[in-house]
Structure 1
């Protein structure tokens, strides 16, 4: 069994000797000056020799202190090199997966679910982006067909319902449609056909559709609906929490489907990557759960 002084005391001694000041080593060690003084004193007592000469000018290493510093500095350097090497080796075993997703999908659908993926596949680090680029390993795309140059798998189709702030739940639908602006979402600078598609499914005239407010993202339209600014036709997969907690109310039982949905796109160069395959498998399972979402009409 090794007979060594306190490693904490040796660490405090080495830091103080490098700074040649107890006070200057305080910030490096994140302790009080008194704690440093106590550890140095304990070390000197255990060795039976003085390591520092102290006077009004400060501290200086004794001959014994210089010998000890040379020894433990080499030892600590060796320990640091090995531990850094081990840490770097472990980090190199981890895989980094960069995922691109539409902003609202990333915020409202993907992010709350990622904890289960990290628990299932702990050796993968995820980077979720909303700006598409070629270096992404994996893309989740809003669209209505597969891409010819990618491995495209369908995730789930949008299921649209008419929603508004909870305070509108008891008002007649025709009164709400006549009084409140329709909240629209733009895609490629054009309105998505959410409103006309839903009005057709409900058997209502399209005259309600032109009057309204346009937003560049679905998330903006959802926040406006929550604030009571207007009413919106929204993919229910994106508002599961709001429907569940009652902050948004479904104003009709009518549901329209598509034509857009979400697709998983993987470039051929990444198709056989284990991290990509694991994420795709997990995502398909979560998508299947989302497709079976059931929230009661308020």
Structure 2
């Protein structure tokens, strides 16, 4: 363990020796002259020697004070150089971080992307991510809900939807046909038309499409999911969007039947951004997460 005098006292001494004035050093240190005098006395007592000669003309360094000043000035200069270099390196590190702006559908951003952001930050730690739900010219890439590639972008399918019939836990174990006969069906609109979730699932289950002829319509999938959780109806939902609800028991899968597509989630990258390292790293991470979602 190092046996050193008070570093505060050493700092006050070095400042006083440079100014040759307790008053000026007090101003520089934002303390009172009395506080400076006390620290100097404490240092002199600790060292057992005088560092300043004091008289009516002011203060002067003693021989011992001159020796200490030479040593301290060199030491403090070294500390200052190192700390400035470290601060500059940190600023450079921050300036090298890349801002990545991504557009994603609201439900996808909330239910699929947000829970995985910890994994993204581990995989790509040097990006500052901005997730938007509106389209803009400054977006580096776009996650899009659709059924085909976009011709004017580098477009790839991340994963296709996997639809299952779900409802509140109070419906678990009951006959699907009996439920469909008395419980409203919940529908999601896309471009003011119902998505074909229900007809596709009923076809896969070998049931009549008439079961879904009526029902309640919502503007977003998230709204339909909340209504299903509340027991207000039955929903056909992409299981990728309700993994937490199925795991926690907030929703029950009411049938083993699963229908796929025709829609899925696509990653679109404009040609002007395709070569950027941050975009490529984000795309690689998305591919890996999309492959996990595609697994049975």
Q: 2:107 aligns with which of 104, 107, 110?
A: 104
Q: 1:187 aligns with which of 162, 185, 190?
A: 190
Q: What is the root-mean-square deviation of aligned Cα atoms in Å?
A: 3.6
* Pair 1:163 & 2:166 matched: yes
Describe the shift of the 1:46–1:106 C-alpha distance in structure 2 as closer, same or farther (beyond 3 A). Answer: same
Describe the shift of the 1:41–1:185 C-alpha distance in structure 2 as closer, same or farther (beyond 3 A). Answer: farther
Q: 2:286 aligns with which of 261, 283, 286?
A: 283
Q: Offset of 1:83 from its aligned partner? A: 5.8
Count, aligned residues: 260
TM-score, normalised to structure 2's length? 0.75
Q: Offset of 1:265 from its aligned partner? A: 0.4
Describe the shift of the 1:8–1:264 C-alpha distance in structure 2 as closer, same or farther (beyond 3 A). Answer: farther
CA contact (8 A) 1:197 1:256 kept: yes
Q: Offset of 1:246 from its aligned partner? A: 2.1
Structure whose alpha-carbon radius of gyration is higher: 2
| 1:178 aligned partner | 181
TM-score, normalised to structure 1's length? 0.74
Superposed CA deviations along residues 156-200 of structure 1, whole A, max 9, x for unmatched, are 110111100111102221221122111111112221111111112
Q: Offset of 1:290 from its aligned partner? A: 0.6
| 2:257 aligned partner | 254
Distance 1:256 1:141 in 2: 20
| 1:198 aligned partner | 201
| 2:65 aligned partner | none
Q: 2:42 aligns with which of 45, 68, 71?
A: 45
* Pair 1:208 & 2:208 matched: no
Q: Offset of 1:117 from its aligned partner? A: 2.1
Q: 1:231 aligns with which of 220, 227, 234?
A: 234
Q: Offset of 1:86 from its aligned partner? A: 3.4
Superposed CA deviations along residues 190-225 of structure 1, whole A, max 9, x for unmatched, are 211111111122222222213222222111211111
Describe the shift of the 1:43–1:142 C-alpha distance in structure 2 as closer, same or farther (beyond 3 A). Answer: farther
Q: Show the 5 A alignment for 1:8-19.
A: 17=27
Provide structure 2 residue ranges, at least 5 long, that are not aligned to the other structure.
16-25, 51-57, 61-72
Which deviates more, 211-220 or 265-274?
Answer: 211-220
Q: Offset of 1:260 from its aligned partner? A: 0.5
Distance 2:37 2:230 in 1: 63
